[in-house]
């Protein structure tokens, strides 16, 4: 494959207020100056998502915290973030990270995990004492209120209503949170928020407080887009669900735009990145003219069911995308430029960002296909760092390019970028001004895959898309959680970060060890490239035998593969929602099954 993304990694993430919490907070039990409460945030039958929240109820700061609890036999922690979690038998211990151990009086912090089984924690201890602090002994915190509904939305206001929470001692009032910050405390189950900005997205949750002043878990979140402002949210939902469509997929893979329809995937996505346009001579350029706008599709290959003719103005993938948008008008299409192979051209582009932006605008808005595209995506691998080639354009180059693109494309077009996920100390995230550029982009596609692979021919074997760290990980900071935490730490809003999913596996051969960390003799055989294979092949040729760090792995014969399955995608989507991320994207459509089971896993869980 000519343009395979190769991303690197990031940092364990500070948890934002969670949306969509289910279940009740466990009864508080008593560290003299702090409390800890557990909430089950999601449940998919064979496993669940969990969150512990530690609150300093004393008058002096806490410098560190340790939470301990017991699970019944058959229930365990499979991955965790924002804490170092270890288990011994049925006993589990979570210790703070270096960045979240200190709690000022009244402050709180949360950490989360994914679990296997269906049990609930018991015998909670916080810093060696019981978890209930000095609150009313045995008094349970309130339940989560119902997810708010929004009505009477105007340019500057919205009315919110929700169903009541329950509590054994009675609910006193409700805190209304906008984008995670409290904006009001009310005693009723409705509130009108005013003073908002027209044409802006907001997220609201509600949490109850009982007569003992204990705060329960947050409700589910409702997204609100105020009227006016010249923009509207995608009608299919508030989360971005984006897939890459490769121009070359119509050749050996025989994957056409029509396959998005027959697989059912078109009905479950919001955006498509068409990959890739070239970057050369400081300009945006056509990648493959035959595939893009010249190839004649037969009736059975065409979205419309009508064959292309020799004299029609536009053929190729562009015309097929036009037909797709006619059937699914909610889908937005972006033209992605660069990629692994063509990122070397960005160095020249960065020398004159305005001229580069003008060339891109002229190409994307060419009258022959201007109606096909809704914006531009920049896939620069990597600004001021090394990918297939090394770039030395400087830390400010990426920001300058994105600023010029936004100025040229304006507010009515989408401007996005694929980014590294290397959150290691001194890694690629630190090489460019991603924080400064964030003001100009609608979102970043954080390439949270290809952390590890058979380019290290002798191993060690490792999941190529780990959600969190784990014992024995080959390189610290090379996880999804690390990447997202690092972007957030430098000031990139969570809603502008999309989690990435690979629709393929990476693998080694000559492996005898089932668990990750084994040695190998080289890359496993793949259909199109050594060491890589589509999910649709691996699901039957080498079924998953285990899970590590939120990603499946499989040992069959002498081959060892790692890849995402519908089950691991479900847990990653739950994590993404809990982190407040803007959605998810994937590389790329043709790796999925003919009925689009991976796209469905993203859509149904996001």
So which residues are the catalytic ones? 381
In sequence order, which ranges of 158-305 are alpha helices (DSSP H)?
A: 258-262, 289
Q: Where are the beta strands (DSSP E) in 32-151?
A: 34-43, 47-56, 66-70, 76-81, 83-88, 91-96, 108-116, 122-126, 129-130, 149-151
Residue 62 pairs in a beta bridge with 103
Pairing between strand 201-210 and 171-178? antiparallel
Measured distance CA(606)–CA(81) in Å, rounded: 19
Measured distance CA(189)–CA(201) in Å, rounded: 22
Measured distance CA(561)–CA(461) in Å, rounded: 8
In order, the DSSP letters of 401-466 are HHHHHHHHH-TTSEEEEEE----STT-GGGGS-HHHHGGG-SEEEE----SS-TTSTT-----SS-
Assign residue 254 a region: left if phi > 0, alpha if psi is -120 to 50, beta otherwise? Answer: left
498 near 487, Cβ under 8 Å? no
Q: Which of helix, strand or coil describes residue 206? A: strand
- Cα–Cα distances (Å) from 236 to 153, 215, 240, in that order, read 18, 33, 9
415 near 373, Cβ under 8 Å? no
User: How many other CB atoms sit within 10 Å of the CB of residue 116?
Assistant: 16
Instruction: DSSP letter for 258, please.
Output: H
239 near 269, Cβ under 8 Å? no
Measured distance CA(435)–CA(493) in Å, rounded: 9
- Cα–Cα distances (Å) from 418 to 5, 356, 453, 500, 514, in that order, read 10, 18, 20, 10, 33
Assign residue 349 a region: left if phi > 0, alpha if psi is -120 to 50, beta otherwise? Answer: alpha
Residue 206 pairs in a beta bridge with 176
Residue 173 pairs in a beta bridge with 209
In order, the DSSP letters of 306-351 are ----TT-S--HHHHHHHHHHHH-TT-EEEEEEEHHHHGGGHHHHTT
Pairing between strand 271-280 and 332-338? parallel
Q: Which of helix, strand or coil describes residue 132? A: coil
- Cα–Cα distances (Å) from 600 to 49, 569, 586, in that order, read 20, 10, 12
Measured distance CA(65)–CA(133) in Å, rounded: 14
From the list 399, 375, 272, the residue with the least C-alpha distance to 328 is 272
From the list 363, 383, 382, 375, the residue with the least C-alpha distance to 406 is 375
């Amino acid at each position: 494959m000519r343009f395979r993304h190769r991303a690197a990694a990031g940092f364990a993430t500070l948890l934002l207020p969670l949306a969509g919490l289910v279940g009740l907070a466990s009864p508080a039990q008593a560290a003299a100056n702090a409390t800890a409460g557990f909430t089950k945030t999601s449940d998919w039958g064979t496993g669940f998502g969990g969150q512990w929240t530690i609150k300093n109820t004393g008058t002096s700061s806490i410098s560190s915290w340790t939470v301990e609890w017991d699970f019944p036999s058959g229930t365990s922690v499979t991955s965790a973030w924002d804490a170092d979690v270890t288990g011994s038998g049925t006993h589990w211990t979570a210790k703070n990270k270096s960045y979240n151990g200190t709690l000022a009086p009244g402050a709180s912090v949360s950490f989360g995990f994914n679990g296997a089984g269906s049990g609930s924690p018991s015998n909670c201890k916080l810093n060696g004492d019981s978890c209930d602090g000095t609150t009313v002994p045995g008094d349970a915190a309130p339940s989560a209120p119902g997810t708010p509904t929004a009505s009477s939305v105007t340019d500057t206001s919205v009315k919110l209503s929700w169903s009541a929470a329950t509590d054994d001692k009675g609910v006193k009032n409700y805190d209304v949170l906008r984008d995670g910050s409290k904006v009001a405390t009310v005693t009723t189950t409705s509130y009108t928020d005013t003073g908002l900005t027209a044409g802006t997205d907001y997220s609201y949750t509600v949490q109850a407080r009982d007569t003992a002043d204990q705060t329960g878990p947050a409700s589910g979140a409702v997204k609100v887009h105020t009227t006016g402002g010249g923009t509207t949210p995608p009608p299919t939902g508030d989360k971005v669900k984006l897939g890459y469509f490769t121009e070359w997929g119509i050749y050996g893979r025989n994957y056409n735009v029509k396959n998005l329809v027959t697989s059912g995937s078109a009905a479950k996505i919001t955006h498509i990145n068409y990959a890739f346009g070239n970057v050369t001579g400081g300009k945006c350029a056509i990648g493959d003219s035959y595939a893009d706008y010249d190839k004649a599709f037969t009736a059975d290959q065409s979205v419309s069911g009508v064959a292309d003719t020799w004299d029609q103005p536009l053929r190729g993938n562009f015309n097929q995308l036009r037909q797709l948008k006619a059937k699914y008008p909610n889908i937005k299409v972006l033209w992605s430029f660069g990629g692994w192979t063509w990122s070397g051209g960005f160095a020249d582009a960065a020398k004159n960002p305005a001229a580069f932006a003008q060339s891109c605008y002229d190409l994307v808005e060419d009258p022959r296909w201007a109606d096909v595209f809704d914006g531009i995506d920049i896939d620069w691998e990597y600004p001021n760092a090394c990918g297939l080639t090394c770039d030395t354009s400087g830390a400010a180059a990426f920001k300058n390019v994105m600023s010029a693109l936004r100025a040229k494309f304006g507010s009515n077009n989408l401007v996005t970028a694929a980014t590294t996920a290397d959150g290691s100390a001194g890694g690629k995230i630190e090489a460019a001004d991603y924080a400064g550029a964030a003001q100009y982009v609608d979102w970043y596609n954080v390439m949270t895959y290809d952390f590890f692979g058979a380019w290290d021919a002798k191993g060690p074997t490792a999941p190529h898309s780990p959600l969190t760290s784990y014992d024995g990980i080959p390189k610290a900071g090379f996880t999804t959680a690390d990447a997202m935490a690092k972007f957030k730490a430098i000031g990139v809003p969570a809603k502008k970060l999309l989690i990435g999913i690979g629709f393929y596996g990476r693998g080694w051969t000559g492996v005898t060890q089932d668990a990750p960390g084994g040695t190998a003799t080289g890359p496993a055989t793949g259909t199109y490239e050594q060491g890589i294979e589509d999910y649709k092949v691996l699901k039957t040729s080498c079924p998953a035998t285990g899970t590590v760090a939120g990603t499946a792995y499989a040992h069959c014969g002498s081959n060892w593969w790692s890849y995402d399955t519908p089950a691991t995608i479900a847990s990653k989507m739950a994590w993404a929602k809990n982190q407040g991320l803007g959605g998810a994207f994937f590389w790329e459509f043709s790796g999925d099954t003919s009925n689009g089971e991976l796209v469905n896993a993203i859509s149904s869980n996001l």
